[in-house]
């Protein structure tokens, strides 16, 4: 099991606490420090079963200033997230071939 975690995000910290309380073993990936590759991000999106745009944090300044209102392909959106990991919605938990965005954090319990 993995959690893609941003320690500065309260929802991500709440998600991490849920995993810690579960007593299950898991890996913490601090994706702002250890960037996600394009292939890895494509796999996460596939596991989530969503369009790449649905993983973007559209209120981030980077998005508003550089991408908002533009017609982008899925590949361009994924590249934007790889190059600007702050744009990736968080936390993401992957367990047994399933993935979920922990918003609200309690939803993480559904894949434990």
**Is 21 noted as a catalytic residue in this protein?**
no
Instruction: Please report the pLDDT score of residue 28 as a whole number.
Output: 98
Our count of domains for the chain comes to: 1
In tens, the pLDDT along 20-63 reads 999 999 999 999 999 899 999 999 999 999 999 999 999 999 99
Among the listed residues 3, 9, 56, 87, the single catalytic one is 9
CATH number at residue 25: 3.40.30.10
What band does 86 get if pLDDT is binned at 50, 70 and 90?
very high
Q: Which residues pair with 27 in a beta bridge?
A: 2
**Cα(112)–Cα(67) distance, integer angstroms:** 35
DSSP 39-83: HHHHHHHHHHTS-GGGGB-TTSHHHHHHTTT----HHHHHHHHHH
Average pLDDT value for the chain: 97
Domain that holds residue 48: 2-111
What band does 90 get if pLDDT is binned at 50, 70 and 90?
very high
Percentage of residues of the chain with pLDDT beyond 70: 100
């Amino acid at each position: 099991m993995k959690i893609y975690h941003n320690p500065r995000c309260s929802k991500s910290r709440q998600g991490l606490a849920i995993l810690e309380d579960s007593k299950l073993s898991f890996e913490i990936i601090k994706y702002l420090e250890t960037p996600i590759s394009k292939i890895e991000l494509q796999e996460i999106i596939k596991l989530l079963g969503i369009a790449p745009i649905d993983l973007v944090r559209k209120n981030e300044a980077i998005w508003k200033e550089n991408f908002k209102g533009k017609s982008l392909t899925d590949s361009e959106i994924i590249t934007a997230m790889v190059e600007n990991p702050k744009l990736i919605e968080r936390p993401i938990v992957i367990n047994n071939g399933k993935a979920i965005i922990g918003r609200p954090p309690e939803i993480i319990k559904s894949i434990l």
